[in-house]
Structure 1
């Protein structure tokens, strides 16, 4: 009975199982496998084999990520063979394959290929952009461009030009680390080829090079002088004549400079290729011409000229102060000092005192000519003279006589003093028996036609100040002693005031007049009835 029950239960389970399940059994399930991910270099062959089951189905290949692969086959059966594309950086490519089994099953798989970048050298490209035509003539400029250089997997970051031949160094007229360069055709005696190399560097520090040949034609002669560019300068400035760019076939050059026109100047180092001179004192624009003779080692020579235009400086129409030295806190220093700028001696006529041409004589910028009592010119070394002409302003100045004996007895005695008003000074401060006034003194001098003139007068404030040397403070008088040798005794009036023609109207109407103290340069306004000295002036 128990045996029957077991058999019955078994038959019942079998009956409940039903028919065979739909779809493939475990023995015929389709499959595909592309293998492991891989790493390849750009340009390398990518070979992939699809392992499928069963083997009678169809495959379809697709690239689904990354830069496109050229000539990618979509129906490559079970084996795919393509070239990895060029990439700038390491890049992933994903390839997928779909397999359809004979019974219609569809399966797929993917594989990732990492394509490694292999940095490539940049390419140096040289273009000759010169307007001149080869072979190039002496001193023609040649421009070379590297702008068309390129890098297929990056960018060009740096340029460097150099001459790789060594027989004659070329002159570069621009920086050698730019994308263009300019050179000058040198002086050669025969057709000569020069080689210029361009090196470019990319962002991977890789380099590329290229070389261009530059043909230069033979020069017409053995010596090529170059006196330099024409110049425009100011009077008194130091001018450089530079022929150092002269050339010769044997690279040996000596020079001799000569002046061929214009106001004569003294050339410094006239037997050198670089000479100098000080631009002369001019009243109007003047043109000077100079010639250099360039000589090679065999005695062959040729000449070139240069023109120098000299313009007058605007030094004003007034005298300067006579202060020609500059100082710091401790004492004397060279002028034009950047730490102590704009001093008196740095500007005006005093700044060019050593270069000013003079008609007569005098220290610093002062220029006087001595006259006798009749107004005739005397030599600069004359010891006896009655007047002096200021050759800068053209004014003629009275020269006083020494103290008279008895005192105040000489008309032009240096000790005489006067007042502006007639009645102020007592008789006795001048040789007049009637009145010691400025007006009476001027009339007496004009009556004598002193120094050939009868238009003597008081100087203006500016005129008298103009002949005082404020840089000569250690003397009894600021008037140049060589031309104004006598001065009054300061103790007589307790000052050395000289009348000028300017009236002071500050608060006092015409009761006050300006005076200048020639011992120290100070000015004052004193009453017209006060006493002061007189030095007359006239314009011829």
Structure 2
């Protein structure tokens, strides 16, 4: 490529000053030109020379890089330069520009194109065995082969791909063939066995190389390995599964037979199969059973293994009792156990064993509550600062209402005096309650809106708050408080609203269950917290709500 700078010819004619006889004098500047030389093709990291020619010959040459992978040293002075092609990942092009300045003339320039070919060196694949520490390996040892010592001889190269292949050897349980390491368990073998592996590595320019690795695995002394499974902890009446299907033999087939060694006799189903089961018997104290499995392969070789089953008595139930701790006749309190008034609440269920129950928290008789803060963390039983209650019997977490404040609708989101109509799941009802009348919400005083708002604030660390079922809400009633204004433990559920403020029902609280009265689905059950009674209540009417969630 060549460029020229044209310098115009000037003549000066001075009628009175250019000499006599009408003669004249003129000066001419010669035009400048430069040639950067022919385009060049080179291989990466190889030296090459560029030579420029300029006219007239008294000028100076300056080289600069215009584009392409960087070459150190620019700008450079002089017509001839020896350079080293850069290390490139792929074929690349470099444009160099020479500028030429001759005396008295403007600067001219020309470009030369340097095509650099990538000369990728293939990676070097290397396999090493890194585990087990003690060789030779034995049955059930974890064997690890590593390709991390593989390398790329290119200065700026790297190995970024691995692929393992088992060319010959037994079937192995391998989770991945494309990591830098490969692991497997030494299998059960009837004879010494040779394995042949191939590892192919790929560098960052797509170059591939492979290597092979031969290793030997020794035979196993015992050719049958019975496996009765892990020891188990269960509760009485639970179904227990005995599973020996992870046993191993060198033959394709094997059989299992179970027998009980210790403990109360249990009835096994399919005792001649590798997977058997039984229902744990009723126990009064912690009991341990043991079972042995005998595994026999198709050549009559056997092995045995034993599993232990620890059985504990079940808890006294996952629902709360009534809270009644005293017995009565028709008119007054009596001693429990009377033949005339037998099997009263105080004699049955969790409450009758309350003094023997190891509680996680506290509560009347068998009730067992734990106070939680706004993040669902446990706080001290005596704390006055808590936001939720965990029922340790049912596992449910209950909402604790905020104190009543202001005059409706100028109340807080979870204010105790807020009331709602029933529209769970946007079920169509005849509800016509307007917004911002019995609650602070501007759009709806329906249950579903309130549920959504509480879940949106991740109240007490949960987003699965809901209206309780009939049975769940009834489980909060302590009938031992009959005669009091509220049949719920105010130490854990404070801030109750004023009784009788809604439709002449003292303390109506919604359940999630529609009352199927045979004619319509327009009513749902409420429970009156002042007396424990239930009532089928029109869904368009207002009632209070205490949300609940599962942990």
TM-score, normalised to structure 1, is: 0.45
Q: Which has the larger radius of gyration?
A: 1
TM-score, normalised to structure 2, is: 0.45
